[in-house]
């Protein structure tokens, strides 16, 4: 059996010495979509930030390990971690527009992000970004590049955020509730977009979501977290159709069906 591309191995994460995530194990194989679900405060974002080496000064992996291609993420030197983030590992937030600088045009910010990882001219940066925008179904890429963040809708903003993350050609794309702030139509668009990214570019996706309809549309494997512990983990079909934990059944019945998703 080949080793997973990314593996959470009995991970405990603590803030200020107090564990909030306990003993989480989760293999993520190359090319698959893994969804992490659970109610607010269950440790979903903490797991993602731990894998990106972005726990901040108060946070720390205190037990276990996170392996990426044979390297231990918690043990990496900051320089190596910066190298990986933005190239091999990328993160998309709930509100991509808010993570951009409000007073600078999208094109300037794309150029800055791309320039930090390789030598590239402004023309090349605009060209690559336009191609990626088009590939992701953003019509009029020149207008997007010339826009300020506030000029874009939430749905457009998420697509731009995903496009920017993909410009680094990451192996793993972490998406932390990328659809939570969107209306139902825009949610469905982002889900379709991520599905295309996974299928066409082969990008491995770790997706945090509240929404079991999103899980149903996208996931190969599912991790259900509750209070920082694994409640259930397994193939999506199994977890969705025959959940063993009462908590998973509650999550499933609490999620409204989104008819537009998956269509
Ligand atoms: N920077 C932080 N410092 C201290 N505690 C934190 C920090 N970030 C998150 N926590 C705590 O860790 C737990 C898990 O939070 P989080 O990973 O954000 O959950 P989720 O993403 O599932 O909503 C919560 O109890 C939260 O209060
Ligand atoms: Mg969160």
Question: pLDDT tens for residues 158-181?
Answer: 889 999 999 988 999 999 999 888
Question: pLDDT tens for residues 77-117?
Answer: 999 999 998 789 999 988 888 889 999 999 999 999 888 77
Q: Which of 11, 46, 56, 93 to mutate to test the pocket of ligand 1 (most atoms within 8 A of CB)?
A: 46
Q: Which of 14, 15, 55, 208 to mutate to test the pocket of ligand 1 (most atoms within 8 A of CB)?
A: 15
Ligand 1 atom showing the smallest separation from residue 38 Cα:
22
User: If pLDDT is split at 50, 70 and 90, which confidence band does 260 have?
Assistant: very low
Strand ranges inside the chain, DSSP E: 6-15, 18-28, 33-37, 59-68, 71-72, 89-92, 172-176, 204-208, 221-226, 229-235
Q: What is the pLDDT of residue 136?
A: 81
Q: What is the pLDDT of residue 233?
A: 97
Q: What is each CA distance from 48 to 161, 183, 184, in whole angstroms?
A: 17, 24, 25
What token pair was written down for 138? 């953003």
Give me the percent of the chain exceeding a pLDDT of 70: 97
Burial 194-229 (b: 16+ CB within 10 A, else e): bbebbeeeebbbbbbbbbbbbbbbbbbbbbbbbebe
Q: What is each CA distance from 215 to 24, 59, 64, 105, 181, in whole angstroms?
A: 19, 28, 27, 34, 17
Q: What is the pLDDT of residue 107?
A: 96
56 Cα–ligand 2 center, Å: 15
Q: What is each CA distance from 85 to 140, 183, 261, in whole angstroms?
A: 29, 29, 30
Instruction: Please list, in sequence order, all residues whose beta carbon lies within 8 angstroms of the beta carbon of residue 102, skipping any fewer than 6 positions away.
Output: 148, 149, 150
Question: pLDDT tens for residues 2-29?
Answer: 789 999 999 999 999 999 999 999 999 9
- Residues 176, 177, 181, 186: what is their CA dihedral angle, to the nearest 10 degrees? 110
Query: 116 and 86 in contact (C-beta within 8 Å)?
Result: yes
223 Cα–ligand 1 center, Å: 17
By C-alpha distance, which of 219, 189, 198 is closest to 207? Answer: 219
Least-confidence region, from 34-48, 49-63, 177-191, 209-223: 177-191
Question: pLDDT tens for residues 63-76?
Answer: 999 999 999 999 99
16 Cα–ligand 2 center, Å: 18
- How do strand 71-72 and strand 59-68 relate by DSSP bridges? antiparallel
Ligand 1 atom showing the smallest separation from residue 39 Cα:
22
Which of the residue ranges 102-116, 148-162, 227-241 has the most confident prediction, judged by mean pLDDT? 227-241
């Amino acid at each position: 059996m080949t080793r997973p591309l990314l593996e959470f191995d009995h991970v405990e994460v603590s803030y200020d010495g107090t564990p909030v995530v306990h003993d989480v194990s989760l293999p993520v194989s190359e090319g698959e979509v893994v969804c992490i679900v659970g109610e607010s405060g269950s440790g979903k974002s903490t797991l993602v930030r731990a894998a990106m080496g972005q726990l901040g000064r108060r946070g720390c992996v205190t037990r276990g390990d996170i392996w990426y291609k044979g390297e231990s993420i918690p043990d990496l030197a900051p320089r190596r971690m910066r190298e990986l983030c933005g190239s091999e590992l990328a993160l998309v937030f709930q509100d991509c527009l808010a993570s951009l600088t409000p007073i600078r045009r999208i094109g300037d910010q794309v150029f800055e992000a791309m320039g930090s990882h390789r030598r590239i001219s402004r023309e090349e940066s605009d060209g690559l970004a336009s191609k990626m925008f088009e590939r992701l179904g953003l019509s009029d890429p020149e207008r997007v590049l010339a826009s300020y963040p506030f000029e874009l809708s939430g749905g457009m903003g998420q697509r731009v955020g995903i496009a920017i993350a993909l410009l680094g050609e990451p192996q793993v794309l972490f998406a932390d509730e990328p659809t939570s702030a969107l209306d139902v139509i825009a949610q469905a668009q982002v889900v379709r977009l991520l599905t295309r990214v996974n299928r066409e570019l082969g990008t491995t996706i770790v997706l945090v979501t509240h929404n079991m309809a999103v899980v149903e549309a996208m996931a190969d494997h599912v991790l259900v977290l509750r209070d920082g512990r694994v409640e259930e983990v397994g193939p999506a079909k199994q977890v969705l159709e025959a959940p063993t934990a009462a908590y998973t059944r509650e999550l499933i019945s609490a999620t409204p069906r989104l008819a537009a998703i998956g269509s």
